Amino acid sequence: MPSQQTGHAATKVWFITGTSTGLGRALAQEVIADGDRVVATARDPRTLDDLTALAPDRVRTLPLDVTDPTAVRLAVDTAVKDFGRIDVLVNNAGYALRGALEELSENELRRQFDTNVFGALDVTRATLPVLRAQRSGCIVQMSSVGGVLATLGGTAYAGTKFALEGLSEGLAAEVAHLGIHVLIVEPGPFRTDFTSRSVRYAAPLDDYRPALDPAKQQFMAMHGTQPGDPTRAARAIITATHMDKPPLRLPLGANAVDRIRERLQQRLQEVDAVEPLGRPTDFA
């Protein structure tokens, strides 16, 4: 089992995107409580004033739209200028787009991937030279249960998280010898505004209503009753980053652990079922 540090040898510098609400906000608060330094970003930095008030000497707030590559580079450069380094990058900014694939416009799909995938990649690529020079650091990629299994109404969102998981797994192998770790976090339903403020819906088509309307109603009904505690999630993420060898993936919440385990078992059964068809396709 990976060993875990029992305390800080020195304060770390965290760079967290999407800290205005939700898990990003909870994580920033817990990191500040631990005595570390935080660069907290959001599209509107005025939403972060209360974080600054918690520890003015250890918190920097910056405006950042992760779909703007110029703003990304400026934010990373400012973080390094102010704090001298970045130890933990958390790519948390993102949102959910719900609807059947045919219902989604091209602009909606591209915006979803620009934010959830290319935004995270741009921030990662801007930060990698810093981590590489340090020969240390941890990149936390906020994925989802939706990065392991797709659900009705969540096709586009799952597509972004599946992409992020594959890219992050590949990145982890590339940077391991440089002392850089990658942690893919897979939360289940947590009691944040993800099911309200952080979700957008496509204009519905009648043919898809019988399948998608019940799923939409179930999704909306979760708001305010999700089983996951954001503070406990934040503590789990912090604990994982303190490990000498952080895990590649960290499902958060009983819902996530159970559903991911069930899906992986199903995948094994699917492989076994089609093996007689797929295996004999090599050259004889």
Residue 12 appears among annotated catalytic residues: no
| pTM summary value | 0.92
CA angle 37, 31, 4 (to 5 degrees): 105
Other beta carbons less than 10 A from residue 241's beta carbon: 22
By three-state DSSP, how is residue 126 classified? helix
Q: Which of 224, 245, 237 is nearest to 187 (CA)?
A: 237
Report mean pLDDT in 10-residue bins for the chain, 284 residues.
42 96 94 97 93 96 97 98 97 95 96 98 98 98 96 95 98 98 94 69 93 84 79 96 97 96 98 97 94
Residue 49 · residue 70 · CB < 8 Å: no
Q: Are 145 and 255 in contact (CB under 8 A)?
A: yes
Look up the CATH number of domain 13-277: 3.40.50.720
130 CB-near residues (< 8 Å, 6+ apart): 76, 80, 85, 86, 137
Q: Is 201 a catalytic residue?
A: no
pLDDT at 6: 36
**240 token code pair:** 């994982």
Give me the amino acid identity at 151.
T
pLDDT at 214 (0 to 100): 86
**Residue-by-residue DSSP string for 158-174:** HHHHHHHHHHHHHHHHH
Q: Token pair of 19, please?
A: 């800290």
Residues 6+ apart with CB under 8 A from 169: 182, 184, 248
Q: Please identify which of the residues 161, 198, 201, 208 carries the catalytic annotation.
A: 161
Residue 225's pLDDT is: 75
CA distance 232 to 224: 16
- Distance between CA 93 and CA 111 in Å, rounded? 13
The separation between the first and the last C-alpha atoms of the chain, rounded to the nearest angstrom, is 43
The CA distance from 132 to 117, in Å, is 22
Q: Supply angle C-alpha 111, 116, 117, rounded to 5.
A: 100
Distance from C-alpha of 43 to C-alpha of 59, rounded to nearest angstrom: 17
Q: Which long-range contacts (CB under 8 A, 24 or more apart) does 150-155 make?
A: 151/215, 152/211, 152/212, 152/215, 153/98, 153/99, 153/100, 153/212, 153/215, 153/216, 153/219, 154/96, 154/98, 155/99, 155/100, 155/101
Does residue 66 contact residue 115 with C-beta atoms inside 8 Å?
A: yes
- The ranges assigned to domains in the chain are 13-277
CB-based contacts of 256, cutoff 8 Å, min separation 6 = 145, 186, 187, 188
Catalytic residue among 157, 208, 216, 245: 157
Of the candidates 143, 168, 196, 201, the residue annotated as catalytic is 143
**161 assigned to active site:** yes
Amino acid making up residue 87: D
d(CA 67, CA 245): 31
Distance CA 242, CA 104 (A): 40
Tokens of 178: 């440089």
Which pLDDT value is given to residue 194?
A: 60
